[in-house]
Amino acid sequence: MRVLLFLNRVALLCNILFVFCLIAQRVEHIITGEDINNYIIILGWGVSPVLNITVNIMALIMLVRRREFSGKRWILLTNFLFLAFQTIYFLIIR
C-alpha cells in the first residue's frame, strides 16, 4: 500500500519537526526567518499528532487484516514511539 508508505514518511518528517518545536520552546531564536518558523510550528504541533494517529491506525488495520507492509519496519516503529511520546506529552506533561 503506497499511501501508507508515503504517509509514514511524511509523519516521520512531521515528528522530527515536533521534536524541533520542543527544542525551540526552550531555546530562543533558533530560526530567525518568521515564515519558516511558522511552517515548522504548524507541521510540528498541528499536523504531526493528527497524521501520526492516522498512520498508526492504518498500520494497525493492516496488521489485523494480516496484510504485508512494503515499507521499512523501522519507520513504523519510530512513528509509534513518537505517538507514545506525544500522547504522554500532551496528556500528562503539558
- List, for residues 71-91, the tens digit of each pLDDT value: 788 999 999 999 999 999 999
Angle between helices 48-64 and 2-26 in degrees, nearest 10: 140
Stretch 39-57: mean pLDDT? 93
Give the tens place of pLDDT for each residue, 20-31.
998 888 887 777
Residue identified by cell 500532551 is 90
pLDDT for the residue numbered 88: 94
> What was the pLDDT predicted at 55?
94
Domain residue ranges in the chain? 2-93
Question: Is the dihedral angle over the CA atoms 87, 88, 89, 93 positive or is it negative?
Answer: positive
> What pTM value is reported for the model?
0.87
Q: Count, in order, helices (H) and strands (E) of the chain.
A: 4, 0
Please tell me the distance from the alpha carbon of residue 35 to that of residue 30, in angstroms, as a whole number. 13
The model's confidence at residue 94, banded by pLDDT at 50, 70 and 90, is confident
Average pLDDT of span 36-43: 88
Question: CA nearest 44: which of 21, 12, 78, 27?
Answer: 21
Q: Which residues contact 52 (CB under 8 A, 6 or more apart)?
A: 11, 14, 15, 79, 82, 83, 86
